[in-house]
Structure formats: structure tokens, C-alpha cells
Amino acid sequence: MKCKITNKSIDPFMNFGEMPIANGFLDKKDFSNEFFFKMEVGFNEDISLFQLNDHPKPEKMFNENYPFFTGSSEYMKNHFSEYAKFVKKYLKSNSKIIEIGSNDGTFLKNFIKETDKLVGFEPSKNVADIALKHDIPTINSFFNKESAKKLKDFAGNTDLICASNVICHIPDLNELIETIDMLLTSDGTFVFEEPYLGSMFEKVSYDQIYDEHIYIFSASSISKIFKKFNFELVDVIPQITHGGSMRYIIKRSKNEISKNVKKILDYEAEKKLDKLESCLNFKMNCEKSKDNIVEKINLFKKEGKAICGYAATSKSTTILNYCNIDSNKIDYICDTTKEKIGKFSPGMHIPIKDMSYFHNNLTDCVYLFAWNHKNEILDKEKNYKGEWFSHVEL
């Protein structure tokens, strides 16, 4: 495939093998038709961009069955309320606000009293319907030039565009930035948060890589990409969400740049996050991590211990398929999402059970797939006396 920004071929440096859709939880009857793609990653040194070589079409992932709801985590609800407070400084009286990938409206809900001119774009119908039920104006569509053009009074008139964990899902970054350019006022602000390349490398949390995450960004890549469109990265603030994310603040180039930007860019240069070299080191660490987790699970099984998984996260699909861990190793995965319960995990077909099943069928060990929600989960499950483990340090 070609990099959408530079039009140069992506030269993959690592192959994770055949991968199913990360959120493609399925019924037994659909096992034989399951979709797989070859998951390879490459790095474009010109713009320091870590990206999937090939990826399924977004319509395959974000449809009427998308099983992710922002409001399903108390921690994330708090995070979005804090995030909303942070961005208020970019608003004037009666500013227009857009959220890209507005999910169930958890974030936009914070602005309902501030302005009557807000709108979210959400392609997955089942989550968009929840937002609409709560009176959050939502367009059930992908965010692109065509859908944005329909919002005539937002064109060149929008003070704030926000997004969370969604820009890395959008294949055509050129069109995305051109659409943002079309909508923002001359001193408008685009704020977005994404899983951070630096955290992924440090924790060897390669489970951040899956079909939906076409890009894993860093400040270096964001700064270089937006400069091409006369935008500037004016501030950057690390976040602890999703196991280490970054909040990027983008304005048109005439704006002042915070000292944070230079600090992070210097850090990234020191860690060689802008060079292929750091990727090759990451690849080696992923291979070691795979060997370690497979060995750990084999040892548990040799000792006769039963294992279950906690939280059927999208991330777990990468781990289970890359490490070839199936229901001979993990009896079941428990989860709170009703759309996943009763189904089977993508690729490895481990049964997904509800939380009461977990409490009634406790295993000796629990693989914590939602390691990024560790505090919330370990606090909820403090009566469980067995062993928690994961491929990242808990």
C-alpha cells in the first residue's frame, strides 16, 4: 500500500500474521466466513509515521454492530468531563463545536448548556442512536468533505473541533485535514487525543495495533503532517488514558507555540521515535513479549491451573491471534458489554461470558486484557484472590 500523505510505498518492517476484525465478535455459525487480513506495519521516516500496511475498509468495522460505548467505563466518563473542561478555553460565546467520532455522546453532552450549535459525526448507527436518544445532535455518517458540506452554517464558522481515539481510524488524513480547514474559523482549534507511539514502545503494548488503528501517532508525526496543510502543533499534553495517549492541539500556523511542543519533540528525537531504528527495536521486544506470555500460559497449564480472560477488548484480538492463544488455554473471557456476551472472540473463538459467570466460575489465574483499566477493575474485583497477569507490567 501507499502512504496517503506522501504517496510513497509503505515498507513493512513487521508482520503480525493473519488478523480478524478486532471488534468482530461472532456467533458459531459465522466461524467459517470470518474475515482475515494480513496485519503488517511500516514506518514512513519522511513524516515519522507508524502505520498499518493494509487495513480493512472502515465500513467493515464501524457499522450498526459496533460494540464499543464510551459510557461503559466510569473512568472514561470522568476523563471526558475533564477533557470538556480543558477545551472550554477555546470557545467564545455561542461557538460552534464539532466532534468527530462522537460515539454515544458522552463528550458532547458536556456542552449542551453552553451552546445550541454542536454536532457529532458517528458512523456506527447503534451508538449514534444512543446519542440521539439523549438529544445530542448526531449525524450518522463518517466525517468527510461530503458529509461536512451539508452543515452549511458550520463552514468557516466552527471554533472547536474535537476527537478522541478516532483520527487514527481515518485512512485518508489528507481529506480529513482539508475538511477541518474548511470548517474552522481563522483562529479555530482542533484538539484530539490518540494512543501515543512513545507509550506503546515503552510498554511493548503492541495490542494497540489492530485494524481500527491505522496509525499510531507521535508529536513528530503530527507536527510534520499538519505543517503540510499550514497548521501548527501548538501544544501537546500527555494523557494516561488507553495505556498512554497524547492530546494534540492544532491551530493555523500564525499562532504561538507552547514550550511543551519542543520538549516532547526533543524527547522523541532522543528516543529515536522519528526513526525506523526505534521500530526495529520495538519489533524485537514484541517477539520477546510473545515468547514470554506463551511460556507463562504453558506453565500455568502444566501446573493444572485454569485461566480466564478479563474484558474482551479490541486489543485482546491482536494478542490472542499473534500469540495463537485459543480456548484450550483460556476457558472464557468475561465482559460487561451485552453485544459481546454469548459470542466468541475474533479468530481464536474463545467464548465471551458475563460478569456473573466470572464470579461463579473463578479460575486460578486471570489474564487482564483491559490492563489500561487496571485500577478500576482491580478495585471492583478485590475479592478475587487468584493471580492477575498480562503481557504488560501490571
Residues 305-344 that bind ligand TMP (CB under 6 A): 311-315, 335-337, 340
Closer to ligand TMP by Cβ: residue 225 or 333: 333
Q: Does 370 interact with ligand TMP (rule: CB under 6 A)?
A: yes
Q: How far is the CB of 216 from ligand TMP (least distance, A)?
A: 15
Q: Which of 72, 174, 260, 285 binds ligand TMP (CB under 6 A)?
A: 72
Q: How far is the CB of 33 from ligand TMP (least distance, A)?
A: 23
Q: Does 367 interact with ligand TMP (rule: CB under 6 A)?
A: no
Q: How far is the CB of 377 from ligand TMP (least distance, A)?
A: 5
Closer to ligand TMP by Cβ: residue 74 or 187: 74
Choose the stretch contacting ligand TMP; rule: CB under 6 A; options: 65-73, 215-223, 224-232, 259-267.
65-73
Q: How far is the CB of 79 from ligand TMP (least distance, A)?
A: 12
Q: Does 189 interact with ligand TMP (rule: CB under 6 A)?
A: no
Q: Which of 44, 51, 73, 289 binds ligand TMP (CB under 6 A)?
A: 73
Three-state helix/strand/coil letters over the chain: CECCCCCCECCEEEEEEEEECCCCCECHHHHHHCCEEEEEEEEECCCCEEEECCCCCHHHHCCCCCCCCHHHCHHHHHHHHHHHHHHHHHCCCCCEEEEECCCCCCCHHHHCCCCCCEEEECCCHHHHHHHHHCCCCEECCCCCHHHHHCCHHHCCCEEEEEEECCHHHCCCHHHHHHHHHHHEEEEEEEEEEEEEHHHHHHHCCHHHCCCCCCEEECHHHHHHHHHCCCEEEEEEEEECHHHCEEEEEEEECCCCCCHHHHHHHHHHHHCCCCCHHHHHHHHHHHHHHHHHHHHHHHHHHHCCCCEEEECCCHHHHHHHHHCCCCCCCCCCEECCCCCCCCCECCCCCCEEECHHHHHHCCCCEEEECCHHHHHHHHHHCCCCCCEEECCCCC
Q: 345: which 3 cell numbers?
A: 472472540
Number of chain positions touching ligand TMP (CB under 6 A) = 16
Q: How far is the CB of 167 from ligand TMP (least distance, A)?
A: 16
Choose the stretch contacting ligand TMP; rule: CB under 6 A; options: 82-90, 179-187, 301-309, 370-378.
370-378
Choose the stretch contacting ligand TMP; rule: CB under 6 A; options: 25-33, 37-45, 113-121, 373-381.
373-381
Closer to ligand TMP by Cβ: residue 164 or 314: 314
How far from 271 is each of 42, 48, 238, 242, CA to CA, in Å?
Answer: 18, 13, 16, 21
Q: Which of 173, 180, 264, 377 binds ligand TMP (CB under 6 A)?
A: 377
Letter for the amino acid at 237? I
Q: How far is the CB of 70 from ligand TMP (least distance, A)?
A: 9
Q: Does 366 interact with ligand TMP (rule: CB under 6 A)?
A: no
Q: How far is the CB of 314 from ligand TMP (least distance, A)?
A: 4
Closer to ligand TMP by Cβ: residue 70 or 140: 70
Q: Does 245 interact with ligand TMP (rule: CB under 6 A)?
A: no
Site residues (vs ligand TMP, CB under 6 A): 68, 72-73, 311-315, 335-337, 340, 370, 373, 376-377
